[in-house]
Structure 1
């Protein structure tokens, strides 16, 4: 699933306005204006490639948006006394953004595992706790499972059903 599509679906599910989108990007460390947000959220027809006004969202921009969403929903986390302020490692271009999407939306919305299972159930897909745990693990862990586009799409669909009722 393309990053632009992820942002479009996430925006719809959480009912985020264009101005708020720009603010969330800024909280994540990427300075994007409202007209640029509109360009990112513009859907492009596959037949109309010449009229491509869409601004492509790369992995770094999506990661910044998700980090900004966490700050927007939960507030900035201050480092604990005596703990160094370590920046997050950069996201490689080949990273599976679907796993990152699940992890960071879970944090931003303060979802429990049961909440996430309910969201998947709303979308009509059954996921076990073990499967969900494998999707939320760190890449490289022996039980890590890459999140496919179908899972990510269904998660965003369930999120829209739950939050737009």
Structure 2
């Protein structure tokens, strides 16, 4: 899933404005410039031509997304005492987004299954646990765009009311 779509969805869910998004990135150890924040909310996608001739839309950087997700954990749960800075995970995969949002919102597996069910997506506990495994584990499964969209939709339904 595109990074800007993930960030837009989270900002909608938590009712975050652009300065708040920048603050959360700073909590994660990243100083975004105005253009990067504007790119999240841009309706018109800029295109970038590749050497092989394909036209690819520009997206928010993996670096900004990773720092935002780390900052979101600190924003929602507070800074841990004596915690060493975590290495930035690049590229940001759907599994990474799911893992970090799980931590930020203090969600257990049952709650994630319920959020997905609320938004119309059925998943078993076994299927869900495969998404949280290390990518070199034999039972690891990549998180698809559809599952992540339903998860973000469920988050919005549950936390938008707060």
- Normalising by structure 2, report the TM-score: 0.84
In structure 2, what is the Cα distance between the partners aligned to 1:76 and 1:55? 32
Determine the structure 2 residue equivalent to 1:130: 126
Mapped pair 1:31 → 2:61: no
| Contact 2:69/2:97 (8 A) holds in 1 | yes
Aligned-residue Cα RMSD (Å) equals 2.3
Determine the structure 2 residue equivalent to 1:14: 14
Q: 1:146 to 1:115 in 2, by over 3 A?
A: same
| Contact 1:122/1:162 (8 A) holds in 2 | no
In structure 1, what is the Cα distance between the partners aligned to 2:39 and 2:31? 14
How big is each residue's C-alpha offset from its partner over 1:26-67, in whole Å with a ceiling of 9 and x where there is no partner? 11111025564233221326xx859xxx97312121111100
Q: 1:32 to 1:90 in 2, by over 3 A?
A: closer
Determine the structure 1 residue equivalent to 2:53: none
Q: Which of the residues 98, 105, 111 maps onto 2:107? A: 111
Deviation at 1:98, TM superposition (A): 0.6
| Contact 1:123/1:155 (8 A) holds in 2 | yes
In structure 2, what is the Cα distance between the partners aligned to 1:24 and 1:90? 15
**Number of equivalences:** 153
| Contact 1:19/1:34 (8 A) holds in 2 | no
Deviation at 1:143, TM superposition (A): 1.0
More displaced stretch, 2-11 vs 30-39: 30-39
Please state whether the residue corresponding to 1:20 is helix, strand or coil.
Answer: helix
Q: Which of the residues 59, 65, 73 maps onto 1:62? A: 65
In structure 1, what is the Cα distance between the partners aligned to 2:64 and 2:150? 22
| Contact 1:36/1:55 (8 A) holds in 2 | no
Unpaired runs of 5+ in structure 2? 49-56
Q: Which of the residues 88, 91, 96 maps onto 2:86? A: 88
Unpaired runs of 5+ in structure 1? none
Mapped pair 1:161 → 2:157: yes
In structure 2, what is the Cα distance between the partners aligned to 1:37 and 1:151? 26
